Structure 1
Amino acid sequence: MFERTAGSHVVDLLKQWGIGHIYGMPGDSINELMEGLRKADIRFIQIRHEETGALAASAFSKLTGRIGVCLSIAGPGAIHLQNGLYDAKKDKTPVLALVGQVTSSSVGTDTFQELKLESMFEDVSVYNRRVQNAEQLPDMLNQAVRAAYAEKGPAVLVVSDDLFSTKIKREQEMTSPEYSVPHIWAAEEDLQEALKLLESAKKPVILAGKGAQNASGEVLAFSEKLKAPIIASLPAKGLIPDDHPNNLGQLGQLGTEPAEEAMKQADLVILAGTAYPYREYLPDKAPAIQIDLDPRVIGKYYPATVGVAGELGPALAWLTSELGEKDTGFLEQFQEKRRAWHDKLREDIEKQTDMLQPQQVLGEIQHIMERDAVVSLDVGSITIWTAKYLQLAGQKLVLSSWLGTMGCGLPGAIAAKLAYPDRQAIAIVGDGGFSMGMQDFVTAVKYELPMIIVVFNNQKLQLIEDEQKMAGNKPTNVDLANIDFAAFAIACGGEGYTVKTRAELQDALSKAKASKQPVVIDAYVEDISAVL
């Protein structure tokens, strides 16, 4: 009987699952797995911090729909994965974490770097198991990946490194590396109830979320037939083109005035692929139709009058085909408000000031941004500025939506270039967020991943200062010691530019767009409130 190591089976299965790269850092509890990966054609992306690896794996999954994979040693490396895995859990995207453990004969003895990893990962994971013996490893890997896809979250497999080098016999395969995507069609009786509400509505408003990822055409067709304005949640920005005349932009703290006003006037809300959580920005009493693949979120944050459990695209296509003619007055009113709002934004971008302002930087990014670019957005005041001023129509946006973790911008850009090597990658980051994980800029340099990282440098945590003021408190501990980000980029082997005027910014962005290297543009911006 031919024997192979369990690790060789794992590497083969990873390839069969279509996994082309893994983020990680080698160490003493994964060295046998590293040897297996060395012999395979799976690309290993050596990151400088495991949090970067987990955040990049999550971003890769959000961008592509395919599972992202990260790897860590036991103990401290495993701990570092948590932030990225929680990001994947909260944004419901599949990630596999292969986590080393001390040798199987030492588990339970409280040896060096041993932690009870199963307990530590229990809350963050949709699948969480420790492999007890080498024979289990291939089948448990298949279970882990399948669970990550099925439940849209992180799967964690904890493996003592010696198990990877253990030879096992496989007389017959117990499982296979296959996942069949279910197609869930909405019940016709629910659609009929929804249709009744749509026919009687005079001021319907569509709030579309990331569930529109594969249904943007259906959302637009539905909006045009219903004569209803669309508001997009931030994760859906770009899925619904910002330049479409029915798109009013985002809602809430980072939203637009037309979106807020339309939602207040709505006599029917259609929650299309979103479980929008900010109740204060939704109507007090308007009826609602909620369409979602996950029945658990229907009515979770807003009382749904009619719940439609099923895929968004087919549900909207059916409703569109059945709808009669609707009055255009409400939509036309808000199309005019939208035009006036965009004129105001354009004036903000084009105005002349002594010091660069954030919206002006976004206006210049707009000029060099390609139609199929991937934009990785960090968390902070730049999230609000970008939501309002950067127009996406065809580009992809990746961000930490529900967890809202600072430091996600650079990992997202790294993932973007690995997912789409021929597309432009732009990271929009604050000085606070970028400095949380900027050591992995050298990872982008090492693997020759051209990207443009624009640091909005106001030497403070602007959004936190805004929040402290809004609470009636005196801002405290929000000022940041300045870093020469351009010099840092050059020290890492990339390109770096410091800009303080619009002319300097335009020149730097032009050079960055043409560059074949990762570039950091350190843009000094005025510290004005993002909460307008």
Structure 2
Amino acid sequence: MNTTADIVADKLIDWGVEVIFGIVGDGINPLLEALRVRQDRIRFVAVRHEEAGAFMASGYAKYTGKLGACLATTGPGAVHLLNGLYDAAMDGAPVIAITGTTYSDVIGTQYTQDVDTMALMKDVAAYSVRITGPRHALAVVDVACQAALSRQGVAHLTIPVDVQMRPLQEDKSSTAYGPIRGAPTWTPPAGTPPAEQLDAAAELLNSGSKTMILAGRGALGARSEVEQVADLLGAPIAKALLGKAVVSDDHPYTTGGIGHLGTRPSQELMQECDTLLILGSNMPYADYYPKPGQARCVQIDRDTTRISRRYPAKIGLTGDVRRTLAELLPRLQRREDRSFLQSARQRMEEWRKALAEAGENRGMPLKPQYVMTKLSGLLADDALVSVDCGAHTVYFARHVQMRDTQKLALSGNLATMGPALPYAIAGKLAYPGRQSVAIIGDGSFTMLMGELATAVKYDLPIKVVLFKNDSLQMVRFEQQGIGNPDFGVELQPIDFAKYAEACGADAFRCATPDEVEPALMAALESPRPALVEAIVDPDEPIAMPGKTIGPSPT
């Protein structure tokens, strides 16, 4: 019997969905049965919280570029998805979310778990439809998958329980023109601007003398082209956090990060450039761009609405960054004056010395920079690095040196706490042969720490490096920065090593510099899920890019 649920499952398989994350529930039992009988072709990963399932779908999409998928039951199940779906939507990760709805004849009657999921998903989803029957499913599942991929965001389908069970043979077409059918096909747009726009952009860039490149997530697939443009123009490359992996952190053209988590050279050079080339970035911190009127800007982005959103672009090129740069490169002239680039290199040499000094500080209590520096050197060349949101994010951005073959996932525009552990699980499922490491604070970990048991259940040997300072340190310093006393930031201490062992994972702890490297190595070499509890200084200050970075008082 071919039911609506069967059609949905078959369509997901046709679209290449290999894994779907979620929690069972009576509002999706027919869908679960359809997945069960197809588990040789699509894997259902049972999580501990629907929010984590949505984060896993988002992380899977961020790591692979493929369609991520998650599933939740009626009412509260759908509600729990929202944070993870907003993460996907705000970072341009293609995800399809499927939810149950109560029986179609009691919708709107305040029946048990009768939540209006269409209204719930209105803001987060680029496409959202309630499926009315199997014939409808034959068309709209394809449309939903196409929408998620083409709009780089969230598509949502909700299905009443009785509709999930309805057989195709009992469902008649309501249109005089016969049933509408979809197809599991999608081709990325060619995405190159017209020749006259490319000519104008090249003319502007060629006429500059101090060009700065700002590379974001949209440039991740354009490493070679970005390097060639930087070389031709003698242009330093500043990287938004989501673009940290565009070029390696030791690349001779990069000035590292930009923004609150960035470097002093990036900040200074942005204030000195006369030309700015923005590549696939939506970095929101306006005070880290050139001053108004200072620089002429060329911006390349696949989304027209992002052009001039952060800095006025004299020329906006709508298209794929890699393809657009490939068309732009033959039009660019090699800049003979390399003084701006040379200045960037000199400043980066000084910055790296300061970072190295801070990163090798063996003072007590244990410094988070020291842990991050040691971790950076131990990560595999092809590691998947999942980073949560908090004070540790600052130390990661500056002290972990990303390499060309590593991949990074983090929550950019939403900047939510909680996703690193789910990301790491999704990354390991997508790339079983690669090291998958979550870098996380104690506040973030406690939000979804049940997912460590998920990693154990599915024998996924992810690694968790947990920075424990018994506080929400970033908020604490923000409170202090505006002259307020600490309030609500203290965390009840938890023995995370014991917790990890209770879940069935290996656990290690470090509280002194001598213990750091052995603990990290033991966890990274373990064949099982493993957690390192690094007990770090809760009073270690977080320096902004314009401030001096050096060893803190011991």
Residue equivalent to 1:480: 491
Residue equivalent to 1:39: 37
Between the aligned partners of 2:534 and 2:465, the Cα distance in structure 1 is 7
Residue equivalent to 2:25: 27
Residue equivalent to 1:529: 541
TM-score by length of 2: 0.94
Between the aligned partners of 1:372 and 1:173, the Cα distance in structure 2 is 45
Residues 135 and 179, structure 2, Cα contact 8 Å, conserved in 1: no
Residue equivalent to 1:85: 85
**Equivalence map 1:206-221=2 (5 Å):** 206-221=213-228
Residue equivalent to 1:510: 521
Could you list the per-position Cα deviations for residues 93-129 of structure 1 after superposition, in whole angstroms to 9, with x for gaps in the alignment? 1111110111222222221111111111111101111
Task: Please identify, of 425-434 and 333-342, the stretch whose mean Cα deviation from structure 2 is larger.
Answer: 333-342
Letter in 2 for 1:377: V
- Which structure 2 residue ranges, 5 or more long, are not aligned? 172-177, 545-554
Residues 191 and 324, structure 2, Cα contact 8 Å, conserved in 1: no
| Percent of pairs with identical residues | 39
Task: Please identify, of 488-497 and 133-142, the stretch whose mean Cα deviation from structure 2 is larger.
Answer: 133-142
Letter in 1 for 2:381: R
Residue equivalent to 1:243: 250
Residues 51 and 82, structure 1, Cα contact 8 Å, conserved in 2: yes
Letter in 2 for 1:227: G
Residue equivalent to 1:193: 200
Between the aligned partners of 2:6 and 2:296, the Cα distance in structure 1 is 56
Residue equivalent to 2:355: 345
Residues 212 and 273, structure 1, Cα contact 8 Å, conserved in 2: yes
User: Secondary structure at 2:125's aligned position in 1?
Assistant: coil
Residue equivalent to 2:103: 103
Task: Please identify, of 167-176 and 512-521, the stretch whose mean Cα deviation from structure 2 is larger.
Answer: 167-176
Residue equivalent to 1:165: 165
Letter in 2 for 1:54: A
Residue equivalent to 1:264: 271
Residues 359 and 373, structure 2, Cα contact 8 Å, conserved in 1: yes
**Equivalence map 1:407-418=2 (5 Å):** 407-418=418-429
Letter in 1 for 2:425: I
Matched, 1:465 2:476: yes
Residue equivalent to 2:317: 308
Between the aligned partners of 2:410 and 2:51, the Cα distance in structure 1 is 15
User: Secondary structure at 2:362's aligned position in 1?
Assistant: coil
User: Secondary structure at 2:213's aligned position in 1?
Assistant: strand
Between the aligned partners of 1:529 and 1:240, the Cα distance in structure 2 is 28
Q: Of the candidates 419, 430, 451, which is equivalent to residue 419 of structure 1? A: 430
Matched, 1:295 2:307: no
Letter in 1 for 2:275: L
Could you list the per-position Cα deviations for residues 178-227 of structure 1 after superposition, in whole angstroms to 9, with x for gaps in the alignment? 11211111121111111222122111100011111211110011101110
Letter in 1 for 2:536: V
Letter in 1 for 2:280: G
Superposed CA RMSD in Å reads 1.4
Residues 462 and 530, structure 1, Cα contact 8 Å, conserved in 2: no
Could you list the per-position Cα deviations for residues 253-278 of structure 1 after superposition, in whole angstroms to 9, with x for gaps in the alignment? 11101111111101111111112221
Q: CA deviation at 1:164?
A: 2.2
Letter in 2 for 1:59: G
Residues 463 and 529, structure 1, Cα contact 8 Å, conserved in 2: no
Q: Of the candidates 317, 327, 331, which is equivalent to residue 322 of structure 1? A: 331
User: Secondary structure at 1:135's aligned position in 2?
Assistant: helix
Residue equivalent to 2:210: 203
Residue equivalent to 2:189: 182
Could you list the per-position Cα deviations for residues 477-524 of structure 1 after superposition, in whole angstroms to 9, with x for gaps in the alignment? 111111111100000011111210122221111111111111111100
Task: Please identify, of 410-419 and 106-115, the stretch whose mean Cα deviation from structure 2 is larger.
Answer: 106-115
Residues 364 and 537, structure 2, Cα contact 8 Å, conserved in 1: no
Task: Please identify, of 426-435 and 125-134, the stretch whose mean Cα deviation from structure 2 is larger.
Answer: 125-134
**Equivalence map 1:336-375=2 (5 Å):** 336-375=346-385
Q: Of the candidates 407, 415, 418, which is equivalent to residue 396 of structure 1? A: 407
Q: CA deviation at 1:172?
A: 7.3
Q: CA deviation at 1:315?
A: 2.4
Aligned length: 530
User: Secondary structure at 1:248's aligned position in 2?
Assistant: strand
Q: CA deviation at 1:460?
A: 0.6
User: Secondary structure at 1:29's aligned position in 2?
Assistant: helix
Residue equivalent to 1:520: 531
Q: Of the candidates 469, 489, 510, which is equivalent to residue 499 of structure 1? A: 510
Residues 24 and 45, structure 1, Cα contact 8 Å, conserved in 2: yes
Could you list the per-position Cα deviations for residues 44-97 of structure 1 after superposition, in whole angstroms to 9, with x for gaps in the alignment? 100000000001101110111111110001111110000001111111111111
Q: Of the candidates 428, 447, 450, which is equivalent to residue 436 of structure 1? A: 447
Between the aligned partners of 2:163 and 2:207, the Cα distance in structure 1 is 64
Matched, 1:227 2:234: yes
User: Secondary structure at 1:23's aligned position in 2?
Assistant: strand
Matched, 1:126 2:126: yes
Residue equivalent to 2:552: none
Structure 1 residue runs of 4 or more that deviate by more than 3 Å after TM superposition:
169-173
Between the aligned partners of 1:4 and 1:197, the Cα distance in structure 2 is 59
Matched, 1:18 2:2: no
Between the aligned partners of 1:212 and 1:229, the Cα distance in structure 2 is 15
Residues 222 and 317, structure 1, Cα contact 8 Å, conserved in 2: no
Between the aligned partners of 1:303 and 1:211, the Cα distance in structure 2 is 19
Q: CA deviation at 1:6?
A: 2.1
User: Secondary structure at 2:2's aligned position in 1?
Assistant: strand
Task: Please identify, of 306-315 and 408-417, the stretch whose mean Cα deviation from structure 2 is larger.
Answer: 306-315
Letter in 2 for 1:365: L
Between the aligned partners of 2:364 and 2:181, the Cα distance in structure 1 is 69
Q: CA deviation at 1:161?
A: 2.0
Q: CA deviation at 1:167?
A: 1.1
Could you list the per-position Cα deviations for residues 215-248 of structure 1 after superposition, in whole angstroms to 9, with x for gaps in the alignment? 1110011101110100011001012211101110
Letter in 2 for 1:90: M
Between the aligned partners of 1:158 and 1:307, the Cα distance in structure 2 is 38
Between the aligned partners of 1:319 and 1:164, the Cα distance in structure 2 is 50
Between the aligned partners of 2:333 and 2:455, the Cα distance in structure 1 is 53
User: Secondary structure at 1:348's aligned position in 2?
Assistant: helix
Residues 383 and 437, structure 2, Cα contact 8 Å, conserved in 1: yes
Letter in 1 for 2:499: F
Residues 103 and 161, structure 1, Cα contact 8 Å, conserved in 2: yes
User: Secondary structure at 1:4's aligned position in 2?
Assistant: coil
User: Secondary structure at 2:106's aligned position in 1?
Assistant: coil
Task: Please identify, of 62-71 and 167-176, the stretch whose mean Cα deviation from structure 2 is larger.
Answer: 167-176
TM-score by length of 1: 0.97
Between the aligned partners of 1:157 and 1:531, the Cα distance in structure 2 is 45
Q: CA deviation at 1:173?
A: 7.0
Residues 462 and 529, structure 1, Cα contact 8 Å, conserved in 2: no
Could you list the per-position Cα deviations for residues 105-156 of structure 1 after superposition, in whole angstroms to 9, with x for gaps in the alignment? 2222221111111111111101111112332123221111111111111111
Between the aligned partners of 2:374 and 2:195, the Cα distance in structure 1 is 48
Letter in 2 for 1:419: A
Q: CA deviation at 1:22?
A: 0.7
Between the aligned partners of 1:314 and 1:125, the Cα distance in structure 2 is 28
Task: Please identify, of 150-159 and 348-357, the stretch whose mean Cα deviation from structure 2 is larger.
Answer: 348-357
Residues 226 and 320, structure 1, Cα contact 8 Å, conserved in 2: no
User: Secondary structure at 2:271's aligned position in 1?
Assistant: helix
Task: Please identify, of 411-420 and 314-323, the stretch whose mean Cα deviation from structure 2 is larger.
Answer: 314-323
Between the aligned partners of 1:514 and 1:109, the Cα distance in structure 2 is 56
